[in-house]
Amino acid sequence: MESNKLLEIKDLKVSFYTPAGEVKAVDGISYDLNEHEVMGIVGESGSGKSVEAYSIIGLLQDPGKVIGGSIRFDGEDILSYTPDQMRQFRGNKVSMIFQNPMTCLNPVYTIGDQLMEALTCHNKNVSKKEAWDRAVEMLELVGINNAENRMKQYPHEFSGGMRQRAMIAMALICSPKLLIADEPTTALDVTIQAQILELMKDIQKKTGMAIVFITHNLGVVAEVCDRVSVMYAGHIVEQGSVGDIFYRPAHPYTKGLLRSMPRVDELEHERLIPIEGTPVDLLDPPAGCAFGPRCEHCMKVCLKKAPPTLEVGDDGHTSACWLYVKEMKEVRQDG
Amino acid sequence: MKKNFNLFQLNVDRIPGFDALGPDDFAPATAEEREAMVESRASVSYWRDAARRFKANKVSMAALALFLLIFLFSYLGPLFIPYNYSDQYRGSGKLGPGEYSKSEQIIKKAEGTCDGFFATSLIPGSLTNLGRNTTYYFKYGGTTYSFYNESAVSNAVLLFNASSLTPLSLITEADLDAGSLDKAAPLEYSTGAVDPSAPNTQELKLIKRVFPHVFGTDSSGRDLMARTMYGGRVSIAVGIIAALIVLIIGSVYGSVSGLAGGRVDFVMMRIVDIIYSVPDVLIVLLLQVVLKAPLQAWLDASATDFARLMSNLGVGIISIFITFAALYWVGMSRIVRGQVLQLKEQEFVTAANALGVPGRRIVKRHLLPNCVGQLIIATCLQIPSAIFLESFLSFLGLGVSIPMTSLGSLCSDALDTITLYPYRLLFPGIILTLLVLSLNLVGDGIRDALDPRLKK
Amino acid sequence: MAERKVLLEVQHLRKYFPIKNGMFRTEYVQAVEDVTFSLYAGETLGIVGESGCGKSTLGRSILRLHEPTSGKVIYDGTVIYDGEKKTQIPMLPYRKKMQIIFQDPSASLDPRMTVGEIVGEALSVHRPDLKGKAYRARINELLETVGLNSEHSNRFPHEFSGGQQQRVGIARALAVEPEFIVCDEPISALDVSIQSQVVNMLEDLQKERSLTYLFIAHDISVVRHISNRIGVMYLGQMVELAESYELCSAPLHPYTQSLLSAVPLPDPDKTRARKRTILEGDVPSPLHPPAGCRFHTRCPYATEECAKSAPEWKEHSPGHFASCHKL
Q: What is the DSSP string of C76-121?
A: TTEEEEETTTTEE---HHHHTTEEEE-S-TTTSS-TTS-HHHHHHH
CA C124 to chain B, closest CA, distance in angstroms equals 9
Task: Check residue B5 and give its pLDDT.
Answer: 47
On whether the CB atoms of residues C118 and C168 are closer than 8 A, the answer is: yes
- Which among C62, C100, C110 is the top mutation candidate for probing chain B, defined by the most B β-carbons within 10 Å of its own β-carbon? C110
On whether the CB atoms of residues B334 and B272 are closer than 8 A, the answer is: yes
Give SS3 for C6: strand
Task: Check residue A160 and give its pLDDT.
Answer: 78
C89 and chain B in contact, CB less than 8 A = no
Looking at chain C from residue 250 to 309, which residues have their Cβ under 8 Å from any Cβ of chain A? Answer: 258-272, 276, 278-279, 281-283
Which residue from B8, B26, B38 is facing A299, i.e. has the nearest CB?
A: B26
Say which residue, A150 or B5, is predicted with more confidence: A150
B2 and chain A in contact, CB less than 8 A = yes
Say which residue, B456 or A320, is predicted with more confidence: A320
Q: Give burial (CB, 10 Å; 0-12/13-18/19+) of B223.
A: buried
Q: How far apart are CA C233 and CA C214, in angstroms?
A: 14
Task: Check residue C23 and give its pLDDT.
Answer: 64
Chain A residues within an 8 Å CB radius of B55: none
Are B356 and C95 within 8 A, CB to CB? yes
C111 and chain A in contact, CB less than 8 A = no
How confident is the model over B381-418, as pLDDT tens digits?
Answer: 888 888 888 888 888 877 777 777 888 888 888 888 88
Query: How many residues in total does chain C contain?
Result: 327
Which residue from A250, A287, A329 is facing B21, i.e. has the nearest CB?
A: A329
Looking at chain B from residue 5 to 24, which residues have their Cβ under 8 Å from any Cβ of chain A? Answer: 5, 7-9, 11-12, 14-18, 21, 24
Q: Give burial (CB, 10 Å; 0-12/13-18/19+) of B266.
A: exposed
Backbone phi and psi for residue C205, each to the nearest 5 degrees, phi listed first: -60, -40
Task: Check residue A253 and give its pLDDT.
Answer: 92
Q: Give burial (CB, 10 Å; 0-12/13-18/19+) of A324.
A: buried
On whether the CB atoms of residues C273 and C98 are closer than 8 A, the answer is: no
What's the mean pLDDT when you consider all of chain B? 80
Query: How many residues in total does chain A contain?
Result: 335
- Give partners of A (≥3 CB pairs < 8 A): B, C
β-bridge mates for residue A23, sequence order: A16
pLDDT tier, C22 (very low <50, low <70, confident <90, very high otherwise): low
Which residue from C112, C113, C121 is facing B355, i.e. has the nearest CB?
A: C121
Chain B residues within an 8 Å CB radius of C156: 43-46
Are A287 and B37 within 8 A, CB to CB? yes
Are C121 and B357 within 8 A, CB to CB? yes
How confident is the model over C154-168, as pLDDT tens digits?
Answer: 888 888 888 889 999
Lowest mean pLDDT across B44-58, B309-323, C171-185: B309-323
Q: How far apart are CA A99 and CA A49, in angstroms?
A: 13
pLDDT tier, C123 (very low <50, low <70, confident <90, very high otherwise): confident
On whether the CB atoms of residues B318 and B306 are closer than 8 A, the answer is: no
Task: Check residue A62 and give its pLDDT.
Answer: 76
Task: Check residue C39 and give its pLDDT.
Answer: 92
CA C247 to chain B, closest CA, distance in angstroms equals 31
- Give partners of C (≥3 CB pairs < 8 A): A, B
Task: Check residue B14 and give its pLDDT.
Answer: 64
335 residues of chain A, pLDDT tens digit each: 446 888 899 999 998 887 777 888 888 888 888 888 999 999 888 888 888 888 888 888 778 888 888 898 888 888 888 888 888 888 888 888 888 777 778 888 888 888 888 888 887 788 888 889 889 988 888 888 888 888 888 888 887 778 888 888 888 888 888 999 998 888 888 888 888 888 889 889 988 899 999 998 888 999 899 999 999 988 899 999 998 899 989 899 999 988 888 887 777 778 888 888 888 877 778 888 888 888 888 888 888 888 888 888 877 888 888 888 888 777 777 65
Residue B84 has pLDDT above 80, yes or no: no
Task: Check residue B1 and give its pLDDT.
Answer: 42
Three-state SS sequence of chain B: CCCCHHHHHHHHHHCCCCCCCCHHHHCECCHHHHHHHCCCCCCCCHHHHHHHHHHHCHHHHHHHHHHHHHHHHHHCHHHHCCCCCCCCCCCCCCCCCCCCCHHHHHHHHHECCECEEEEHHHCCCCCCEECCCEEEEEEECCEEEEEEECCCEECCEEEECCCCCCCEEEECHHHHCCCCHHHCEECCCECCCCCCCCCCEEECCCECCCCCCCCCECCCCCEHHHHHHHHHHHHHHHHHHHHHHHHHHHHHHHHHHHHHCHHHHHHHHHHHHHHHHCCHHHHHHHHHHHHHHHHHHHHHHCCCHHHHHHHHHCHHHHHHHHHHHHHHHHHHHHHHHHHHHHHHCCHHHHHHHHCCCCHHHHHHHHHHHHHHHHHHHHHHHHHHHHHHHHHHHHHCCCCCCCCCCCHHHHHHHHHHCCCCCCHHHHHHHHHHHHHHHHHHHHHHHHHHHHCHHHHC
The contact set of A with B (CB < 8 A) is 19, 248, 250, 277-278, 281, 284, 286-288, 292-293, 297-305, 308, 310-314, 317, 322, 324-329, 331-332
Query: How many residues in total does chain B contain?
Result: 456
Chain B residues within an 8 Å CB radius of A281: 38, 41
Chain B residues within an 8 Å CB radius of C113: 365-366, 369
Which residue from B11, B21, B29 is facing A311, i.e. has the nearest CB?
A: B11
Are B43 and C107 within 8 A, CB to CB? no
Which residue from C193, C267, C271 is facing A257, i.e. has the nearest CB?
A: C193
Chain C residues within an 8 Å CB radius of A191: 50, 258-259, 262, 278-279
How confident is the model over C68-106, as pLDDT tens digits?
Answer: 889 989 988 888 888 887 767 888 888 889 999 998 888
What is the CB neighbour count within 10 angstroms for residue A205?
9
Are C156 and B347 within 8 A, CB to CB? no
Task: Check residue B143 and give its pLDDT.
Answer: 83
Are B27 and A300 within 8 A, CB to CB? yes
Chain A residue with minimum CA distance to B39: A284
Are A190 and C218 within 8 A, CB to CB? yes
B41 and chain A in contact, CB less than 8 A = yes
To the nearest whole percent, how much of chain B has pLDDT over 90? Answer: 7
Are B370 and C112 within 8 A, CB to CB? yes
Lowest mean pLDDT across B50-64, C20-34, C173-187, C209-223: C20-34
Are A279 and C194 within 8 A, CB to CB? yes
Which residue from C163, C221, C278 is facing A262, i.e. has the nearest CB?
A: C221
CA C225 to chain A, closest CA, distance in angstroms equals 6
Chain A residue with minimum CA distance to B32: A293
State in Å, rounded, how far the first CA of chain C is from the last one: 24
Are C96 and B356 within 8 A, CB to CB? yes
Q: What is the mean predicted confidence (pLDDT) over B182-188?
A: 78
Biggest CA pair distance of chain B: 124
To the nearest whole percent, how much of chain C has pLDDT over 90? Answer: 28
Task: Check residue B2 and give its pLDDT.
Answer: 43
On whether the CB atoms of residues B440 and B381 are closer than 8 A, the answer is: yes
How confident is the model over B220-234, as pLDDT tens digits?
Answer: 778 888 888 988 888
Which residue from B350, B355, B369 is facing C125, i.e. has the nearest CB?
A: B355
